[in-house]
A and B are shown apart, each in its own frame.
Chain A
Amino acid sequence: MKHTTKILTTLTLFTTISTAQDLQPSAPPQDHPIFLVGATVHTISGETIENGVVSITEGKIGIVADHEIMSRIRLSADTEIIDLTGKHLYPGMIDSITKLGLQEISAVRAMNDYNEVGDMTPEVRAYVSVNPDSIVIPTVRSNGILTFGVFPTGGTIPGRASILQPEGWTNEDMTLTRDAGLIINWPRMRNTGKNKSKANERRDQTLENINTIFDNATAYAAKHNETDLQLEAITTVLPSENQNPIFINANDYDQITTAINWAISRNLRPIIVGGRDAHLCTDLLLATNTPVIIGGTYNFLKSADAPYDQPYTLPAKLEQAGVLWSLTMSGRHAHERNLPEAIAITLAHSSDLGFTQEAALRGITLNAATILGLESSLGSIETGKSATLFVTDSNILDVTSIVTHAWIQGRSIDLANKQTKLRDKYQEKYRQLNLIESED
């Protein structure tokens, strides 16, 4: 039971506050087996197990079973048993698209590392400049977001995404996938308003530029004498055995459809990011096997006419159509931790669409892992998968739930962060002023 008291034991750490750096040490690798007993186990891939048992060994999930199995197995002496009766166990949630570590305080230019100079910078990779001591990252994992994509932004091709976990001494330690795919911001196909013709010109130019760089890269891949880092980067997503996907930012109907058709005609692997109008073209998405990373349910609507719950119900509509989807906070900096409430609003508004808790959870776990190519190790509680898990006191989709434990690759995670330390510091002030009761 040594982890359950963690929150309280961190109370003494408030003397070392810093505004720019997180000061918590990283957790050591798992050195003994852990048995999590008694929780409602949301396996995601299979049935939910009431009063279940999950074991963790060497960073991987071992047993996933009903608690009755406890009477049938023998535990080694160093096994730690954690009683989670009445609690809920989930696989770590995944926010596919963030700027975590690339951005600290958006208003400060020096703290922004996500937008390189140039309209097309496929050569840059996100993980390279993720600040492992970002003060935001620990606050995100404190609510169970245990895997995140980091996406550069800006221009037509901002760069390449990386997938990380919020735990490790260095950014390299944290990185799961250095090169997860190429990002393309698809131009707006249909422009209106005063600058329509200019915007249309820009659109045509952008489309031409995209085609040019892909044409060049295709030729380059076939044969080249000198190295071109930009084209080299594009070749990672051209048809090959290890073909990476392209993440295409597209929200309008016309953007989505043209982007998919463009990608398919070049034998690329498109993933639609944003997808605001994706429900209008589910057939195309299915036919081309294109998944959608939905850019949020808290988005503004595209027009005054749209049903007020349109962004809320988009995940349910894609689920109903059979499209593979996941939900992201879409780079809303320091809001990543609110991912579960963002899918909860879909549940609240989609009862008539047959949307279930299980589907909602999949959209922030297993589906996300699948789209990011990590389904073999993340996204569900299955034997052999990475022991990236967290525990709550109640339904994680209910905003009032709290996270009490978390493991990343079997490493036990300290849930304290700069914010909890500030809390502790000022609660101490009020204790000294006798405005609140002292700890017993």
Chain B
Amino acid sequence: MKHTAILLALVISTTNASDPLAPPPNGMQSAAPTRHILLGGTVHISPTQTFDSEILSAIYIENGRIIKIVEGVRADLDTTGYQIHNLSNDTHIYPGFIDPYIEVDSPDLPTNAVGTHWNALVTPQQDALNIGLPADTAKNLRKLGFTAAMIAPDDGIFRGWSAVVSTAADFKDDSLGDPPTYQAHAGQMMGFDRGTWPDRAYPTSHMGVIALMRQTFIDAQHRALTPHTDASCLDEITPQNTTLFYETNQELEALLADNIADEFNHKNIVIIDNGTAHRRLSAFKDMGHPMIVPLTFPETPDVFSVGAADSVALATLQHHERAPANARWLANSGLTVALTTSKLREGENFWDNLHTAIERGLPQADALAMLTTNPAKILELHHQGTIAENNIANLVIADGNLFDPDSDAKILDLFIDGRLHHINNPANTRFDGSWTIDLIDTNFQLTMDIDGNSITITSGEGDDATEDRARKVNIGHNQISFITDDPNADTTVITGTLSPDGLIRGTGITPNQQPFQWIATKNPPAENEDTEKVAQDDTEPDLLPDLPTTPFGPYAYDKEPKQLRYLLTNATVWTQSDAGVLKNASVIIAGGKIYRVFKGDHFDYDLDGIALQTIDATGLHITPGLIDAHSHTGLFRFGVNESGQAVTSEVRIADALDPAHIGFYRQLAGGLTTAMLLHGSANPIGGQSQTIKLRWNSAKPSDMFFEDAKPGIKFALGENVKQSNWGDRNTTRYPQTRMGVETLIRDRFTKAREYAASRGAYEKVIANLEKSGQQIVKNIEKINSETKKQIESKYDDASVETYAKFEYTIENPELIPPRDLELETLAQILAGDRLIHAHSYRQDEILMLCRIAEEFGFKIGTFQHGLETYKVAEIVKEHAIGASLFSDWWAYKVEVTDAIPFAGPINHQVGLLTSYNSDSDDVARRMHVEAGKALKYAKLSSIPMTEQEALAFVTTNPAIQLGIIDRVGTLEPGKDADLVVWTGHPLSSLSRPEMTFVDGRLYFSRQLDAQLQKQNAAERQRLIQSILAKGQPAKENQKDDESDDSDSKHDHDHDPNQLNNTDRGNCGCNQLLPAYHTNY
């Protein structure tokens, strides 16, 4: 880190009163000695090295630095000129703790300043040093033992620069300057802040956040290549040299950050967790990024009534148990983990929680590392984190082992930059013991037993003895006072002072206001005292394993199901190919593919002798896995619509995917194996779609992506995009008419065409250069100023081609058309590389888009919903691959009043390729019934349709429409082994899937489900019992849960008491309720 050298100088200067920024002294110039020796105590040099207190050691501090450490001090220790701090044997000394994440309030920046980004969430020019560490926060950090903290602006997507500062108190003398900054510009803070659905300020979704991050990085890199004299906040974004700290509130956000790092080759990113990373441990392990982890644990789940216990989610219970192991499991996975005191719930205490983590198995040395060496490593603080010569004299002194959960050790003092900060008084044990009190001038004696703040006064002996527990006890450094009651309930006030001779000398005032004096002598300690201290807590602490032993969440598999070789025999096989429906047929699956489909069960294929798992499918039906061409499953955690703008082709639905959404499992149970995830319909031009396979609960969202599926994008026409049903407030966004929808789309395609032309010419030059064998930087956006210099030196003796490239990229950077994610995506449509899937209803708007396609020369993918395609099927089939409809939904808004359940059969009759989709987490569970309706309404209309053709509505036809027919959609050798075993006829509502395979992996079976249910139940029972055994803190009864209860909200959060919950909403999803649209 290049800043380090400068900052070291700063540190050293702090005690020299030569700070040119400091005012002259008001009075005497302070020149107090800055030399200390810490003598004795257990010294934790580092997490792995400790000097025992038995070996007297000394730490020399001078001018804010540790200058010497002596292990095993001899009598002739040179102490001249040093303040000596004699530490007791119980004392522990640690390197000062470092908190790598303290949020500080970002002030609003002037919006009219030169170089400000149009989006208020992009403020990389913000600088934590302009905000500083508030004195209160610094004080609180000191109380917890932290001597350094990274302060971080708290607002936005690009939030600005963080800085590492000392937590030292301000000097009392202003002329001494300010406590030091250890690291200015420690890193850029990144976050996922966004506008809310009602405000509709871009971005409203995670997809939009990611698009804005990507475009901003691209713009910054482009600017770095472009000569400029103006000011721009983009100059603050030089990621190749900067650590990017991503603040996350859900574990999936870390994966999004990782994608950005991959794309832009960012070497140093740090994830600031929210305490839930353990849910996706394997993904975090794979990514390998350093982690800043808060010690926040969820409240005890309510399981104290039948309704509550029945409703609590397994994930909630598991998270409750596992949260204390979060940091440890991340560390055990090989990650660098630092702890932060931030992000605690109200009422949580950092050290209590750290002790809990230690009790549950976090080794004390690891905990120490997470507070010292690890944050020092992450923040590149080269002179902090250990007790070593030349390190900054940041030290924690405690009266016991802070990391021992059973001790009640306190922090006594901190040294910060060599300055002593007093935190707590040492426990006063000098009064402890049994004392004999002699009342002077009498021969009256009392016994006084002191234990901490508890004093018992005994008078008399044997049977006559009376005991009184003193009240109002106040024990100071050498002062003691209390009041005591005699058997007549008269009260005496007593005060005393501990003399250097070991006696307490005191005065008392009797009930009748007579003063008297007394002397107390300490009695020798009674024998066998130890017997009192029996282990109070004989319950075993609940140790958590070194790594989780069971998967997280319900119905989760231990591992991805294996690709075994299967032989399914004696079934009715719906090949959906020319082979038709085969009775008494068999299917062999091998290597995730369909190997053979054949009549009978006898085969002589060479299988390399590898055993087959035989499944007797007598009486059962086998079909290809069902395909849903319109799904929003697993998207609502992050938002399915980027509603901040009318054109959002730059956003990717892939960035919104939660692979753990239980909807996928339920859909597997309904025979679904593939789905196209679509952006909502808030915008005429929506986001990029993502075709997935239902590899449910995979480690990363990208594991679910359907490899090489044709890219797609959501368009939307009609009422939703003109905001017809959004309320009277929404009347100003363009477009508000279907005419405007047309012109907006035309405008964007016109621009995209121009963009493609200029950018295409540039890319062609680059491509030609590449072909000619010249070494070039393929992606111009990846060039930073350093590589730029390299290129310049390299091209000294350039050939013609390299010179051309050099000219293009370096000399005339203004010729490089800036990359624009929005237009780039639209250009892909024009080039035929991306298919439009257009939400549409009325025939006029369907025709409109056909004409646009004609004009701009591309083919449309599908008309989604396309409920009036049946009115213009003969035109649609010329301009689109097909239509993807609801089977029978209608009457929920004006533009669907002409939707008819006969549309599918009519399209089929006219030759327009038609599929049925769900657009619903509900319907996606039974797509075979939807296919059955194709047959039903064809029969009702005497339209010829075979059963195979009906089943094609949810298998073959969507596969063709999504450009994946070469992989799925039929049962033919060589295709993916995505198939469903049904209990009966697959078009019947009386049948259900018995098994569902994806890629030849058995992702669902009734048998497996029963087993998983049993496991879930057992795990629930264990966790609930464990909570019940401990009982519930009474105070929690009435408190609002502040925790994110998304686990129990996996289902759409509608009120089940509202009868009408299936109206299709304005975003194209089928819910009108706001909970569906916002992130929770």
Contact = CB atoms under 8 A, between A and B. Distances in A.
B941 interface: yes
Interface stretch (A63-71, A77-85, A121-129, A340-348): A340-348
Contacts of B1050: 303-304
B922 interface: yes
Contact of A348 (B554, B902, B991, B1051): B991
Contacts of A393: 939
Interface in B270-284: none
Interface of A: 7, 19, 97, 99, 103-108, 135-136, 151, 153, 185-186, 188-190, 192-197, 200, 249-254, 274, 276-277, 280, 295, 298-305, 307-309, 330-335, 337-338, 340-341, 344-345, 347-349, 393, 395, 397-402, 419-420, 422-423, 426-427, 429-430, 433, 435-436
A301 B1051 contact: yes
A224 B1047 CA distance: 53
B922 A300 contact: yes
Contact of B988 (A185, A300, A398): A398
B906 A423 contact: yes
B1059 A330 contact: yes
Contacts of B939: 393, 400, 402
Given A401-B936, A426-B870, 8 more contacts: A108-B893, A304-B1050, A308-B669, A333-B892, A400-B932, A423-B900, A430-B873, A435-B910
A274 B1045 contact: no
Contact of A304 (B306, B892, B929, B1051): B1051
Q: Which 7 A-B pairs have the closest CB atoms?
A: A331-B1059, A107-B893, A344-B989, A399-B932, A254-B307, A423-B902, A304-B662
Interface in B963-1019: 983, 987-992, 1009, 1013, 1016
Nearest to B308: A190
A114 to B, nearest CB: 8
A299 B1054 CA distance: 11
B822 interface: no
B1040 interface: yes
A61 B569 CA distance: 50
Q: Is the contact region of chain A dominated by helix, strand, or loop, or is it mixed? A: loop
A280 B553 contact: no
B1060 A331 contact: yes
Contacts of A427: 906, 909, 941
Contacts of A395: 990
A131 B607 CA distance: 67
Given A253-B310, A334-B890, A299 B1056 contact: yes
Interface in B903-923: 906, 909-911, 921-923
Contact of B1060 (A99, A430, A433): A99
Contacts of A103: 1060
Interface string B297-328: 00000100111101111110000000000000
A304 B315 contact: yes
Contact of B1056 (A251, A338, A398): A251
Most B CB within 10 A of own CB, among A19, A185, A333, A397: A333
B936 A402 contact: yes
Contacts of B1047: 304
Nearest to B871: A426
7 contacts: A249-B1057, A276-B1056, A344-B989, A345-B929, A348-B989, A399-B936, A420-B940
Given A193-B1041, A254-B305, A341-B989, A108 B1059 contact: no
B990 A348 contact: yes
Contacts of B310: 253, 277, 280
Interface of B: 302, 305-308, 310-315, 553-554, 662, 665-666, 669, 719, 724-725, 870-871, 873-874, 888-894, 897-898, 900-902, 906, 909-911, 921-923, 925-926, 929, 932-933, 935-936, 939-941, 983, 987-992, 1009, 1013, 1016, 1020, 1038-1042, 1045, 1047-1048, 1050-1052, 1054-1063
Contacts of A422: 898, 900, 902
B1045 A193 contact: yes
Given A107-B893, A194-B1040, A305-B1016, A295 B1059 contact: yes
Nearest to A153: B1059
Nearest to A395: B990
B21 to A, nearest CB: 46
A399 B662 CA distance: 27
Contacts of B554: 304-305
A259 to B, nearest CB: 11
A305 B552 CA distance: 12
Contacts of A307: 1009, 1013
B1040 A193 contact: yes
A133 B921 CA distance: 33
B892 A106 contact: yes
Contact of B1041 (A194, A304, A397): A194
B361 to A, nearest CB: 26
A312 to B, nearest CB: 8
Given A308-B669, A399-B932, A332 B1056 contact: no
A430 B909 CA distance: 9
B1057 A333 contact: no
A271 to B, nearest CB: 14
Most A CB within 10 A of own CB, among B906, B992, B1060: B1060
Contacts of A399: 929, 932-933, 936, 987-989
Contacts of A299: 922, 1056
Contacts of A194: 1040-1042
Contact of A136 (B891, B898, B906, B1045): B891
Contacts of A433: 874
A406 to B, nearest CB: 13
Given A253-B310, A300-B921, A304-B662, A420 B1057 contact: no
Contacts of A303: 311-313, 1048, 1050-1051
B1045 A192 contact: yes
A188 B1061 CA distance: 17
Nearest to A108: B894
Nearest to B1049: A193
B103 to A, nearest CB: 21
A341 B929 contact: yes
B874 A435 contact: yes
A423 B662 contact: no
A106 B1063 contact: yes
Given A108-B894, A420-B902, A253 B1060 contact: no
B1041 A196 contact: yes
B307 A189 contact: yes
Nearest to B926: A345
A357 to B, nearest CB: 9
Given A426-B870, A433-B874, A334 B891 contact: yes
A78 B461 CA distance: 121
B1045 A304 contact: no
B909 A436 contact: yes
Nearest to A143: B936
Contacts of B1013: 307
B1056 A295 contact: yes
Contacts of A108: 893-894
A412 B211 CA distance: 61
B1048 A192 contact: yes
B186 to A, nearest CB: 34
A251 B310 CA distance: 13
A206 to B, nearest CB: 12
A119 B871 CA distance: 44
Contacts of B1059: 97, 99, 151, 153, 249, 295, 330-331
A153 to B, nearest CB: 5
A240 B888 CA distance: 45
A197 B1038 contact: yes
B1057 to A, nearest CB: 5
A335 B989 contact: no
Given A192-B1045, A303-B1048, A105 B893 contact: yes
B943 to A, nearest CB: 8
A427 B902 CA distance: 10
